Amino acid sequence: MTSISKGWLLAGAAFFVAQASPAFAAAGADAAEQDRQYLPDGIIVTGQREGYAEDDGSSGTKTPTPVIDVPQTITFITEDQLEDQSIRQLGDALRYVPGVSIETGEGHRDEIFIRGQKSTADFYLDGLRDDAQYYRSLYNVERIEVLKGANALIFGRGGGGGVVNRVSKAARINGFEAQFDASADTFGAFALAGDVNSTLSEASAMRINATYEEFDSNRDFYTGHFIGVSPTVTVELGAATKLTASYSYEEDERIVDRGNPSDGSGPQRGYRDTLFGDGDFNHTHSQVHIARARLDHEFSSNLSANATLQFADYDKAYQNVVPSGLRNGGADVEFSGYRDTQARQNWIAQANLVWEVSTGALDHMILAGFEASWQDSNNGRANALFDDGAGGTTSRFTTPLADIFTFPAITLTAPLRDRHSELEVLSGYVQDQIDIGDHFQLIAGLRWDRFDLRTIELLTSVRGDRVDEKVTPRVGLIYKPSGQLSLYASYATSFLPQAGDQFFLLSPGDTAFAPEKFTNYEIGAKWAPSDKLFVTAALFQLERTNTKGPDPQDPTLVALVGESRTRGLEFNLVGEITPAWQANIGYTYLDGEITSTSSFGAEGLRLQQLPKHQFSAWTRYDFSEQFGLGLGVIYQDEQFASFSNAVTLPDYVRVDAAAYYTVSERLSLQLNVENLFDASYFPSAHGDNNIQPGKPLSGRLGVRVKL
């Protein structure tokens, strides 16, 4: 390491862990008896439903704070809702979150838009960055949290439109519980999953989540599988100290489906099942290892701390034939292709101190913390060559439009790029949550980041190095006329270096440019009419500045002149409407445009994949203790596939349904139907010629056994 001593920081984290050990347990014994309701904790496998509402807002503050006191829009999807919808992949779950649009991710990764900002990296696991390009399964996830708006204070770089955090299932010392699930759908895909929690002693427990899935769909040649295993251990090291350790191994292998080309103004219709690629060549494979240890300790009733160390290893390769567009008046399709490899290792060390103290008439909850991370990445690429039938090869292959395509022999070029990057980040942050009298709360804080990126293109020895130091603020004011209602206003910023969110290469020309900046202004209201029902509404404006664009004084030069803006309104109702009725209902209005010409496009263009109106609702009603029905509706307004604003994805309505039957306390059956009315729709894209058709009507039958 050059500017950051990795060894010293790891030693410091180890010293913290050693100090917050049983030797301090007696000093914090009184604190352990207090019920810190809003501290994140693992799910208890009791077989009892917790519902769709969630009151833990700690991910938005890194402190034990109820969500009603967080001046930010946060959307939750709980495990109960995921089970009711029979959802196992993150992208499928996020379709039910207004304000979030799903990018196709080139058919091999999670990629999303939040409030008009695209990201492949703003994903977190238990509050720590999980930024590689792969598909994320939900077999070991307790809930999903979408925290919207720029907020570098808590999450650091990126996150301009918001971030997605997955909260893991953790072992609990509550005896033995187990749950096993099996399901299959009408395409032949199936999934098996198990969740076993067992107490090992009076002070320790172990939990194992595991799954195996076989993929299939209506798309021709589509196959694949997923394997996931995640053991966790919880150990109470004293009355006030807890250690949680976890490891997960995930393997994903599937066909790469890039979707359909456009007809020039919209998706090419009539080819819902066609793979615009080569079933023998289009393929992706990823392996992910994530290991984590977290220590929580309470020194006293008003002073607590935690320290976490995480290691993640990502290894992925994908190759694909890609539709480049229609040719010859729409009679032919042109294809190109390539193979891409990605490898990444992340180390993250984080520690937080939370101190509750009073100064006169003011009550404070003070957060002080640091985070250090080291990231080592490699990215290589080679292009595909098609046999031209005359003893040579070509990088472009054109063939008549058909239901099934036949491709000539495909070979690969020598490597065209071989990039290596090293990223070191050191961060420190402080935040104060102040209670002012009985009705006002103020949250204010600053984060300092030192961002050291070194990249090299190994084939040419071209380097791009840059160090950035940024200070990002956050301020929020909350007015609470009652304990069940809060009104808030907030301001927060975030930044993204010019290398983009994956940091594979920083070009020499970009080394002179400061990071892009995101600024979020938001006012909102949160109302909890009961402890199981939550209603939120928000108005916001998100500004993106420092985007590269042509210098107005000299168009041959590049300057940081580009700007864009998103304005919107958001509403969400989630939780228990009646004891028999659970619902999660949301609506978002979004208006976004480029306000100053940039590398994205000309001033006045609408932001890509930004539907003006989005509505989603999932609801379950139990008619008796044995029988219930579920209904889901997604509406997405029309949107442009890219910044070109040339290709429009039409608006659509998708209706889903479900039926639940409890045979006994240990056995239940479930039927889920997706796209009940067999709508033909195109929910996502990756540019103007990779447009993903939605699945036709399909059903999934599942069985759940609890021990």
Strand, helix or coil at 538? Answer: strand
- The CATH code of the domain at 6-483+499-514 is 2.40.170
Model pTM score: 0.92
From the list 572, 604, 694, 535, the residue with the least C-alpha distance to 100 is 572
Say if residues 282 and 319 touch (Cβ distance below 8 Å): yes
Residues 693 and 685: their CA atoms lie apart, in Å, by: 9
Q: For the chain, give the longest Cα–Cα distance.
A: 87
Residue reference for tokens 């500004």: 543
Compute the distance between CA of residue 288 and CA of residue 294 in angstroms, rounded to an integer.
Answer: 20
| 8 A C-beta contact, residue 536 and residue 525 | yes
What's the DSSP call for residue 690? -
Q: Considering Cα of 387, then 389, then 392, then 393, what sign does the dihedral take?
A: negative
At 493, list the tokens: 């910023």
Paired residues of 118 in beta bridges:
113
Q: How far is CA 141 from the centre of its chain?
A: 12
Give me the pLDDT at residue 397, please: 97
If DSSP states are collapsed to H, E and C, what string results for 190-244? Answer: EEEEEEEEEEEECCEEEEEEEEEEEECCCCCCCCEEEEEEEEEEEEEEECCEEEE
Contacts for 466 with CB less than 8 Å, ≥ 6 apart:
453, 497, 498, 499, 506, 510, 511
**Could you give the CA distance from residue 653 to residue 637 in angstroms, rounded to a whole number?**
9
Secondary structure letter of residue 20 according to DSSP:
S
Q: 555 to each of 561, 603, 604, 639, how far by Cα in Å?
A: 12, 15, 18, 30
Q: CB atoms < 10 A from the CB of 570, how many? A: 23
Q: Is the dihedral of CA 545, 549, 552, 558 positive or negative?
A: positive
Instruction: Quote the DSSP letter at residue 94.
Output: H
Which residues make beta-bridge pairs with 434?
A: 364, 442
Q: Which two structure tokens, joined as six digits, stand for 57?
A: 């807002």
pLDDT at 508: 87
SS (H, E, C) 145-200: EEEECCCHHHHCCCCCCEEEEEEECCCCCCCCEEEEEEEEECCCCEEEEEEEEEEE
Q: CA nearest 421: which of 460, 452, 382?
A: 452
Closest CA to 265 of 691, 693, 701, 703: 691
The residue type found at 512 is A
Identify the segments of the chain with pLDDT beneath 50.
Answer: 1-47
Show me where the domains of the chain are located: 6-483+499-514
Q: What pLDDT score does 48 carry?
A: 60
Q: In sequence order, what are the residues at sequence separation of 6 or more whose Cβ sits closer than 8 angstroms to the Cβ of residue 284?
A: 107, 108, 252, 253, 254, 255, 256, 316, 317, 318, 319, 320
431 membership: H or E segment, kind and range: strand 417-436
Cα separation, 115 vs 591, whole angstroms: 9
Tens digit of each residue's pLDDT (9 = 90 or more) over 349-374? 999 999 999 999 999 999 999 999 99
Record the tokens describing residue 610, joined without a space.
Answer: 């930004």
Please report the pLDDT score of residue 455 as a whole number. 96
**In angstroms, rounded to a whole number, what is the distance separating the alpha carbons of residues 217 and 627?**
29
Can you tell me the distance from the alpha carbon of 367 to that of 351, in angstroms, rounded to the nearest whole number? 10
Please give the radius of gyration of the chain, using alpha carbons only, rounded to the nearest integer: 25
Q: In what order do the strands lie in the sheet with 100-102?
A: 100-102, 112-114, 117-119
